[in-house]
């Protein structure tokens, strides 16, 4: 299994973004090239917010920033069921909660097998930064990820368009990458982190992802 986990971690940023997008129902409709173009704009939006934040609070750590912005930070049990796992949530106006059940399960697994990506010290800041992006997303209605709508069909002057939630998720991960200065895009981390809690399900999902990536 370690091999599969490393393969996922070592995928290029573009591959990770692509795999995130592929699950979207409109992926086939728009096509890979066009969808990637929109997704990169989403990622750029996340990076831009991270750069603004670093300029506003130079050299501040993630937790110093949360304090400055008066954001409540909690570790509490959230949903952790096989068909739905919440790693962390952002609750308006200013509350970020990381799922304590996942921290416990992954922490135990890490102590036993020393697989670094399950070390809570490795990933808690990433999922926290991800949620911090959603805080800014809430504050700034004019962000690209808030305003972009994918046109689906036209009837005369009427254009039917839909919001693409996946763009916010790509932006939130790009934000985390930029703010935490990670050497990789943490796009599929959510799929990896469920492994210690539901290994069978995670194994299937990860193999499926690698198949699609090849
Ligand atoms: Zn999110």
pLDDT number for residue 27: 85
3-state secondary structure of 85: strand
Distance 169 CA to ligand 1 centre (A): 5
Distance 128 CA to ligand 1 centre (A): 10
Classify the phi-psi angles of 194: left when phi > 0, otherwise alpha if psi is within -120 to 50, otherwise beta: alpha
Distance 86 CA to ligand 1 centre (A): 10
Q: Total structural domains in the chain?
A: 1
3-state secondary structure of 180: coil
pLDDT number for residue 30: 86
Whether 212 contacts 22, CB under 8 Å: yes
Instruction: Report the candidate in 172, 173, 177, 207 with the shortest Cα–Cα distance to residue 187.
Output: 173
Distance 41 CA to ligand 1 centre (A): 17
**CA separation for the pair 96, 191 (Å, rounded):** 20
Residue 40 to residues 82, 133, 171, 209: CA-CA distances in angstroms?
Answer: 31, 16, 9, 20
Distance 2 CA to ligand 1 centre (A): 26
Q: Is residue 125 within a helix (H) or strand (E), and if so which, with residue range? A: helix 120-139
Q: Tell me the residues surrounding ligand 1 (ion) with CB < 5 Å.
A: 169, 172
Distance 212 CA to ligand 1 centre (A): 23
Distance 137 CA to ligand 1 centre (A): 10
How does DSSP classify residue 15?
A: H
At 142-194, the pLDDT tens digits run 999 999 999 888 999 999 999 999 999 999 999 999 999 999 999 999 999 99
pLDDT number for residue 22: 86
Instruction: Report the candidate in 119, 113, 85 with the shortest Cα–Cα distance to residue 201.
Output: 85
Domain around 152:
2-213
Cα-Cα-Cα-Cα torsion 167, 172, 173, 175, nearest 10 degrees, comes to 120
Residues of the chain with confidence (pLDDT) below 50: none
pLDDT number for residue 114: 93
Distance 199 CA to ligand 1 centre (A): 23
């Amino acid at each position: 299994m370690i091999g599969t986990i490393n393969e996922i971690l070592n995928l290029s940023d573009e591959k990770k973004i692509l795999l995130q997008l592929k699950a979207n129902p409109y992926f086939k409709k728009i096509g890979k090239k066009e969808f990637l173009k929109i997704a990169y704009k989403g990622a750029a939006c996340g990076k831009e917010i991270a750069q603004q934040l670093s300029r506003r609070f130079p050299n501040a750590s993630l937790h110093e920033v949360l304090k400055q912005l008066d954001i409540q930070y909690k570790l509490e049990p959230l949903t952790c069921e096989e068909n739905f796992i919440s790693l962390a949530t952002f609750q308006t106006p200013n509350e970020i909660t990381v799922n304590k059940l996942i921290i416990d399960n992954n922490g135990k697994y890490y102590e036993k097998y020393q697989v670094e990506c399950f070390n809570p010290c490795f990933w808690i800041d990433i999922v926290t930064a991800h949620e911090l992006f959603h805080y800014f997303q809430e504050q700034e209605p004019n962000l690209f990820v808030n305003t972009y709508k994918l046109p689906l069909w036209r009837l005369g002057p009427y254009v039917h368009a839909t919001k693409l939630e996946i763009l916010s998720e790509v932006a939130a991960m790009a934000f985390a990458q930029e703010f935490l200065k990670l050497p990789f895009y943490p796009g599929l981390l959510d799929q990896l982190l469920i492994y210690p809690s539901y290994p069978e399900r995670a194994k299937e999902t990860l193999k499926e992802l690698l198949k699609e990536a090849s």
